């Protein structure tokens, strides 16, 4: 993605709405601190205090723009790995100039966004790099287990970390699980997939969650495009995949469920096209950032 700016994938109206929501959440009534410092022009420096991939710049820019402050000047490109940052060696990544009360009003919001987005990008990049070193040519994907209201930031971090976003929301791809079969009144997946295909049209893929060869074969025969082998061991899933592909060579196989950074490398096998992990987003550690006002800009 070196020749493209990921910012261009984002809806500018949506980013603006998010920025406004975050600011209103953090300042629900009076900003007494802002009264104390006033509109004195100041310059603030944003520091990275921990190794990681820088991510979240468009959201930081949107927050400052929403407050009427010129966006920060970043010292690095988004996606850069800062490899020498620590609490004792803070790395300057950006500077911003504007009224003191507005700079400080934005401070915690923009640091939270940078920390969260960069943490996700860092973990995705770290695991993805190791999988490539193992000569696995599939896609590492983050699941839909995101933080309500913060999905765009988290999925954007996944992209900066060069991983796959999986489906963005319920409308992006159709995923059928055991609960859908139980509640729908259909006897099995073989009867429900054709019904779904009538509404899906040609543009939506259908993925079916399975845990055995019998279920996977039934779903593939019914016209599913992707089989998710859920909570199946790497070896067992590989065997299911080989047997299934002997009959359906074009079907995609996804490994998911219970996959962590500890055991993900067991799934780096040619039998799997996709490895999806909720822990790429859920429970992902943040990268530490801080902001300081400098006296003599």
- One domain for residues 73 and 89: yes
List of residues 6+ apart from 168 with CB closer than 8 A: 144, 151, 155
Q: Tell whether 288 and 237 lie within a shared domain.
A: no
Sign of the dihedral through C-alpha 185, 188, 194, 200: positive
Judge whether residue 262 has pLDDT over 50: yes
How far is the C-alpha of 276 from the C-alpha of 232, rounded, in Å? Answer: 13
Residue 81 counted as domain residue = yes
Average pLDDT over residues 190-211: 86
Give per-residue burial for 80-104: e unless 16+ CB within 10 Å, then b.
bebeebeeeebbebbbbebbbbbbb
Q: Does 74 lie in the same domain as 27?
A: yes
Instruction: Characterise 282 by phi-psi region: left (phi > 0), alpha (psi -120 to 50), beta (else).
Output: beta
Q: Do the Cβ atoms of 117 and 142 come closer than 8 Å?
A: no
What is the pLDDT averaged over residues 265-276? 97
The model's confidence at residue 26, banded by pLDDT at 50, 70 and 90, is very high
- 135 in the Ramachandran plot: left (φ > 0), alpha (ψ -120 to 50) or beta? left
Q: What is the pLDDT of residues 116-133, one digit of tens each?
A: 999 999 999 999 999 999
pTM (two decimals): 0.93
218-254 residue pLDDT tens: 999 999 999 999 999 999 999 999 999 999 999 999 9
* Residues 274 and 194 both lie in one domain: yes
Whether residues 214 and 120 share a domain: the answer is no
Do 290 and 257 have their domain in common? no
Residue 136 lies in a domain: no
CA–CA gap between residue 63 and residue 75 (Å, rounded): 18
| Mean pLDDT, the chain, integer | 92
Question: Number of C-alpha atoms within 13 angstroms, CB side, residue 154?
Answer: 24
**Mean per-residue pLDDT, 57-73:** 97
Same domain, 188 and 123: no
Residue 186 pLDDT class (50, 70, 90 cuts): low
In a domain, 172, yes or no: no
- pLDDT class of 177 with cuts at 50, 70, 90: confident
Q: What angle do CA 53, 285, 19 make, to 5 degrees?
A: 70
146-167, pLDDT tens digit by residue? 999 999 999 999 999 999 999 9
Mean pLDDT for the stretch of residues 136-141: 96
In a domain, 166, yes or no: no
Tokens encoding 48 = 């990275």
State residue 90 phi and psi, 5-degree precision: -70, 135
CATH, residue 49: 3.90.1170.20
Neighbouring residues of 149: CB distance < 8 A, sequence distance ≥ 6:
21
The pLDDT value given to residue 295: 62
Mean pLDDT of 107-111: 97
Q: Are residues 238 and 264 in the same domain?
A: yes
**Residues with active-site annotation:** 145
Taking the C-alpha atoms of residue 167 and residue 153, their distance in angstroms, rounded to an integer, is 15
Q: Look at residue 1 and tell me whether its pLDDT is greater than 80.
A: no
Identify the band that residue 180 occupies on the pLDDT scale cut at 50, 70 and 90: confident
Residue 73, CB half-sphere, CA atoms under 13 Å: how many?
6
Residue 254 lies in a domain: yes
Q: What is the per-residue pLDDT for 244?
A: 96
User: Could you tell me if residue 213 is inside a domain?
Assistant: yes
Q: Is 23 a member of any domain?
A: yes
CATH of residue 195 = 3.20.20.70
Pairing of strands 41-48, 289-294: antiparallel
> Of 107, 74, 119, 97, nearest to 290 (Cα)?
107
251, 288: one domain: no
Q: What is the mean pLDDT of residues 57-80?
A: 96
Given a cut of 70, whether residue 2 has pLDDT beyond it is: no
* Domains: count for the chain: 2
Instruction: Examine the pLDDT at 217 and tell me if it is beyond 80.
Output: yes
Same domain, 30 and 105: yes
Is pLDDT above 80 for 296? no
Helix axis angle for 213-222 and 189-200, nearest 10°, is: 40
Residue 14 shares a structural domain with residue 100: yes
Assess if residue 140 is contained within a domain.
Answer: no
Residues 113 and 189 in one domain: no
Domain that holds residue 191: 177-280
Share of the chain above pLDDT 70, in %: 97
């Amino acid at each position: 993605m070196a020749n493209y700016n990921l910012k261009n994938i984002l809806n500018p109206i949506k980013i603006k709405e998010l920025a406004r929501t975050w600011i209103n959440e953090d300042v629900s009534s009076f900003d007494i601190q802002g009264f104390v410092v006033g509109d004195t022009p100041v310059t603030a420096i944003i520091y990275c205090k921990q190794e990681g991939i820088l991510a979240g710049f468009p959201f930081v820019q949107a927050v400052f723009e929403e407050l009427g402050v010129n966006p920060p000047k970043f010292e690095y490109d988004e996606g850069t790995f800062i490899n020498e940052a620590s609490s004792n060696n803070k790395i300057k990544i950006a500077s911003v100039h504007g009224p003191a009360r507005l700079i400080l009003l934005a401070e915690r919001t923009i640091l939270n966004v940078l920390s969260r987005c960069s943490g996700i990008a860092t973990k995705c990049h770290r695991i993805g790099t190791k999988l490539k070193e193992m000569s696995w040519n599939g896609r590492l994907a983050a699941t839909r287990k995101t933080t309500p209201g913060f999905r765009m930031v988290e999925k954007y971090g996944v992209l900066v970390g060069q991983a796959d976003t999986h489906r963005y929301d319920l409308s992006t791809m159709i995923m059928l699980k055991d609960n859908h079969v139980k509640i729908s009144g259909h006897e099995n997946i073989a009867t429900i997939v054709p019904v779904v295909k009538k509404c899906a049209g040609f543009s939506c893929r259908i993925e079916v969650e399975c845990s055995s060869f019998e279920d996977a074969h039934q779903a593939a025969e019914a016209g599913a495009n992707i089989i998710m082998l859920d909570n199946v061991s790497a070896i067992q899933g590989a065997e299911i995949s080989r047997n299934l592909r002997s009959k359906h060579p074009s079907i995609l196989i996804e490994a998911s469920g219970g996959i962590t950074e500890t055991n993900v490398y067991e799934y780096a096998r040619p039998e799997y096209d996709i490895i999806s992990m909720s822990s790429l987003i859920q429970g992902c550690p943040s990268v530490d950032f801080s902001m300081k006002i400098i006296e003599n800009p």
